[in-house]
Each structure stands twice: as structure tokens, then as C-alpha cells.
């Protein structure tokens, strides 16, 4: 525990309020959003303490993680003309460090934004990089005597920019991909402030054993699935990764700033090593670097992917930071865009829905009968108890009810569970029908597309042209910055 953190702890203890320190993993990144993932909370439960310099001296502004400072409002509240973030050196005078300023423990006047108080618990820094503190902001304010005000705006997700994502070409899409990824793509595609790029990542598919004779077909099938689900080539750029060789060139350039040890320690890498110990290739080690190139070559700031991809996004941010620092570039720090269905449980009640576990998944092409059969096999219990289960087969079924029939329906069932008892036969019948209703139009569209492969190939060709235009521009800019351009 460093000095500052000890001071924070003492002040909280003296005030006699409830609080809780949590130790973060030693190798965790500095990103607040990563910390919040660790705590299992969203950014609205984070509180950031920012030190500003004004002509009247320094102040601390406390804002919620999902808001931005409105500097005009803050200036008004402080009655000052000038407002700028304190530099590293200025922070040092107070014994503070950038990024880990605690909510008290120093002699600087504090201003708290009212939106912070809307939460009963918030997580914030302690002055020690590896600890966060959880407390009630209404208690905090009594201790740090913060002045309240309205000086933030909710972060505008509409601020524009580029969105990019990709799915590997291992088999066809299933319900997990649809809920966890594609539904997010569809939502973002309809937002005119974003430019969307969606690809099939065939190069990443090569990092694990694959069948060269069927790869081409699998890739095209995913493009067809994308189109059938509603991705629209007039709104989004839909393409195949390997048709844009610039990704590979950029991945090589990026690999010059990443250390081997960092890559070897990624949980995703270790997992693959366990799964395929005979196939620990350079390409596998380089997987996250290529993914960073996929994202940054389009300067995408938003990436709709499952939570399991967070370590890869951290690598992408790290690469962006290093490239920006070393070569004076201005690459974005891409953030994950989470969808409601980002964790789709296995029908079997253990782990997530996955292509590689038989009985765990529903295919987008399954008919009503098949869906019924698969749901029939999902494990259940007696249907009665003091509390509806939060894990296992019944919990999975309830999660699917919520995803396809809404929260109200789920609550109904949960109530039945604790009163008269829940009849799974009826639940499963209704649920199968609800899932099929959502899949039916997708299947119909797919059948049409299968009759018009010429159209599909045209989408692929035009997508590549559009993507390549953007990709080659970024690549040239980066090569120039790195001193390897000769024109
Ligand atoms: N690694 C991702 C996955 O397995 C696939 C992927 C590759 C990707 N490149 C990407 C996802 C770029 C988003 C952006 O799901």
C-alpha cells in the first residue's frame, strides 16, 4: 500500500463510512473500461477524478465513466476563464499520478457531477494502480466535501467514426454468433453516424487446423449468412480479409513494436496452445497483431465482438499507443461495443454456445422441429424451489426466454418457479416457436441468396474495392511515418 492509499483509507475509516478495496490482477492494463469489466459493472459505475488547472488554481472534477466533461459548464461553475488538464509534472506536486487520482486524500478543492450521485455504488481509484475502491458516492461526498454541479454530458455514442468486426470462417453461423455479434452489427449499421466494415477473417482461420478444400465455401457461406441476417452492402462494407493484403503488411509493421513475451502471456494464446499443442505456430502467436491491423487499418474506434475478445482489443490499444508515441501517428484506441446477447449460454447449461460442443448450439438454418428437439434435450429440474436457478440448464433456458420473449416473460416463469411450479414442456414449446419466428425470415432470405450467387460474388468484389481504398491509404500513411516509403 503506498502513502496516498494509506491516507485515503485512513480518511474513509475516520468518517466511518462503508467502503471496499479490491486488488486488481498485477498485469491488468490501465484502461478504466478493463477494470470495470473485471468488476462486472458497466462504465456508469466508474468515477474518474480529473485534475484541472485554472487561473484560480487547481481543482478536481469527479465525473461518471460514461460521461464527458462539458468544459463550458465547468468553467461557469468555477467562475473561471481558463481550464486545462493538469500535466504529469503538475500532478507530481500533489503526489498524484495521471490516471490513478483518488477521490480524496489531497488539498485540492473537489467538484462532483450530479450524475455520479444517481448511483448507489461507484468504483474509483485509490492512488495505487492495482487497487480500486467501491463506495456510495453519497457517503463519499460527506468526507471529501465535494461541491456538486452539472458539468457533464452523457458520452455520445453517436459521435461517429468507424466500426469494424469480423467472424472466423469455421462452419456456419449459429445463434451465439447471431445474438452476440451480428445483431450488434445490424444495430450499428442503421446508425448514419457510423461507417461500418464487416469481414470474414479467413487469414485468422488458418491459425488452427482447417480444411483447404472447403475454406472457400465456408467463407462465402458466412458472407451469405451476413446478408441473410440483414447486413446491407449499401450501408456497410462487407468483405473477405485476405482480399485486402494490406492487413498482412500492416501486421508485420505492428509486430515490430510488440514483444514476444507479451503475446505468449495472453489467455487466448494459452487456451489455443492447450487445445492444439501440436500447432503452436508463429501465425498463432501473431493472431492478435493481425487483428490489431484489421482494426487500425480502418482507423475503427468501435469493435462489436464478444467479451472473450477483450484481451485482443487491449493489444490493439497498446499497439495504437506505441505507434502514436513512436511515429507521431494518430491511431484511435478501439473500444469494444457490447451487445445484450454477448454471452449466449450453451443449451446444455454449462459454458457458452459453441460450434465445437455438440448439443450446445442452434444453427441459424435449423427448422422448428430441430429447434424443439434440441431444446427438449436441455437439462432441467423439478421446476420448483425457493429461488429460480442462476446457473445450469434452467438458467440457460431463462436467459433464452429473456432474449427471445422479453424480460417480462422471464419474470413470469421465475415467479411460477417459486409458486405453482414451472412446466418445462410448455416453456420449451413456446421458446422454440419464438426462436424459430426470429430465424424464419433469415432462412427465407438465405434461400433466395443461394439462388443468386452472382449477386453474392458481386457484393464480395465491391466490398474488397471499398475496403482496399481505405486500407491502402492508412498503410501508406504508416509506412511514411516509419520511414519506409520511396515515392
Ligand atoms: N478474433 C476474433 C474472434 O475470434 C475474430 C477477428 C479477427 C476480429 N479480426 C478481427 C474481430 C477484427 C473484430 C475485429 O472472434
Report the residue among 162, 164, 168, 306 best suited for mutation to probe ligand 1: largest number of ligand atoms under 8 A from its CB. 168
Distance 5 CA to ligand 1 centre (A): 39
The predicted-structure confidence for 303-358, as pLDDT tens digits, reads as follows 999 888 999 999 999 999 999 989 988 899 999 998 777 778 899 988 888 877 88
> Tens digit of pLDDT for each residue in 291-309?
999 999 999 999 999 888 9
Domains of the chain, start order: 3-154 (3.90.960.10), 157-342 (3.40.50.620), 368-450 (1.10.240)
Read off the pLDDT of each residue in 259-270 and give the average, rounded to a whole number.
96
User: Residue 150 has what pLDDT?
Assistant: 95
Mean pLDDT of 71-91: 89
- Section 134-153 average pLDDT: 94
Q: Which of 182, 185, 272, 312 to mutate to test the pocket of ligand 1 (most atoms within 8 A of CB)?
A: 312
pLDDT at position 159: 52
pLDDT digits (tens, 9 = 90+) for 277-289: 999 999 999 999 9
Q: In angstroms, what is the span from residue 101 Cα to ligand 1's centroid?
A: 34
Q: What is the pLDDT of residues 435-445, one digit of tens each?
A: 999 999 999 99
Q: CB of 86 closer than 6 A to ligand 1?
A: no
Evaluate: CB of 201 within 6 angstroms of ligand 1.
yes
Give the per-residue pLDDT at 64.
94
Q: Is the CB of 374 under 6 A from ligand 1?
A: no
165 and 303 Cβ atoms separated by less than 8 Å: yes
So what's the pLDDT on residue 72? 86
Whether 157 shows a pLDDT value over 60: the answer reads no
- Strands 122-125 and 131-135, by their bridges, are antiparallel
Distance 167 CA to ligand 1 centre (A): 6
Residue owning the nearest CA to atom 13 of ligand 1? 165
Query: What spacing in Å lies between the alpha carbon of 312 and ligand 1's midpoint?
Result: 8
Average pLDDT over residues 186-201: 93
Q: Is the CB of 294 under 6 A from ligand 1?
A: yes
247 lines ligand 1 (CB under 6 A): no
Amino acid at each position: 500500500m503506498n502513502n496516498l492509499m494509506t491516507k485515503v483509507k485512513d480518511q474513509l475509516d475516520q468518517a466511518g463510512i462503508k467502503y471496499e478495496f479490491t486488488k486488481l490482477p498485477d498485469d491488468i492494463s490501465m484502461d478504466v473500461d478493463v477494470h470495470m469489466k473485471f468488476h462486472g459493472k458497466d462504465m456508469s459505475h466508474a468515477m474518474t477524478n480529473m485534475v484541472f488547472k485554472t487561473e484560480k488554481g487547481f481543482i478536481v472534477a469527479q465525473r461518471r465513466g460514461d460521461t464527458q466533461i462539458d468544459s463550458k459548464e465547468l468553467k461557469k461553475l468555477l467562475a473561471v476563464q481558463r481550464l486545462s488538464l493538469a500535466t504529469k509534472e503538475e500532478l507530481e506536486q500533489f503526489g498524484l499520478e495521471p490516471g490513478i487520482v483518488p477521490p480524496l486524500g489531497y488539498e485540492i478543492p473537489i467538484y462532483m457531477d450530479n450524475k455520479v450521485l444517481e448511483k448507489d455504488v461507484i468504483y474509483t481509484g485509490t492512488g495505487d494502480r492495482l487497487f480500486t475502491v467501491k463506495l456510495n458516492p453519497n457517503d463519499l461526498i460527506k468526507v471529501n466535501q465535494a461541491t456538486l454541479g452539472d458539468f457533464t454530458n452523457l458520452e455520445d455514442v453517436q459521435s461517429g467514426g468507424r466500426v469494424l468486426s469480423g467472424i472466423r470462417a469455421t462452419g456456419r453461423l449459429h445463434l451465439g454468433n447471431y445474438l452476440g455479434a451480428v445483431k450488434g452489427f445490424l444495430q450499428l449499421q442503421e446508425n448514419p453516424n457510423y461507417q461500418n466494415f464487416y469481414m470474414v477473417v479467413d487469414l485468422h482461420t488458418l491459425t488452427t487446423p482447417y480444411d483447404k478444400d472447403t475454406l472457400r465455401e465456408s467463407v462465402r457461406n458466412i458472407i451469405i449468412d451476413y446478408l441473410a441476417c440483414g447486413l446491407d452492402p449499401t450501408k456497410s462494407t462487407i468483405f473477405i480479409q485476405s482480399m485486402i493484403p494490406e492487413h498482412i503488411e500492416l501486421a508485420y509493421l505492428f509486430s515490430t513494436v510488440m514483444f514476444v513475451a507479451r503475446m505468449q502471456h495472453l489467455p487466448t494464446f494459452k487456451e489455443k496452445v492447450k487445445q492444439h499443442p501440436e500447432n503452436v505456430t508463429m501465425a498463432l502467436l501473431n493472431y492478435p497483431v493481425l487483428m490489431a491491423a484489421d482494426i487500425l487499418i480502418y482507423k475503427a474506434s468501435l469493435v462489436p465482438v464478444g467479451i472473450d475478445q477483450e484481451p485482443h482489443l487491449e493489444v490493439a490499444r497498446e499497439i495504437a499507443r506505441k505507434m502514436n508515441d513512436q511515429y507521431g501517428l494518430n491511431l484511435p484506441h478501439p473500444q469494444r461495443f457490447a451487445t445484450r446477447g454477448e454471452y449466449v449460454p450453451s443449451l446444455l447449461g454449462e459454458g457458452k454456445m459453441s460450434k465445437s460442443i455438440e448439443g450446445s448450439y442452434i444453427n441459424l438454418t435449423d427448422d422448428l422441429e430441430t429447434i424443439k428437439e434440441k431444446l427438449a434435450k436441455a437439462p432441467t429440474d423439478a421446476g420448483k424451489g425457493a429461488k429460480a436457478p442462476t446457473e445450469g440448464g434452467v438458467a440457460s433456458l431463462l436467459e433464452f426466454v429473456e432474449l427471445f420473449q422479453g424480460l417480462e416473460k422471464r419474470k413470469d416463469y421465475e415467479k411460477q418457479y417459486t409458486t405453482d411450479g414451472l412446466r418445462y414442456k410448455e416453456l420449451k414449446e413456446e421458446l422454440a416457436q419464438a426462436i424459430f419466428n426470429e430465424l424464419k425470415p433469415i432462412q427465407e432470405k438465405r434461400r433466395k441468396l443461394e439462388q443468386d450467387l452472382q449477386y453474392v460474388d458481386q457484393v464480395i468484389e465491391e466490398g474488397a474495392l471499398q475496403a482496399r481504398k481505405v486500407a491502402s491509404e492508412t498503410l501508406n500513411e504508416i509506412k511514411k511515418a516509419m520511414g519506409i516509403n520511396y515515392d
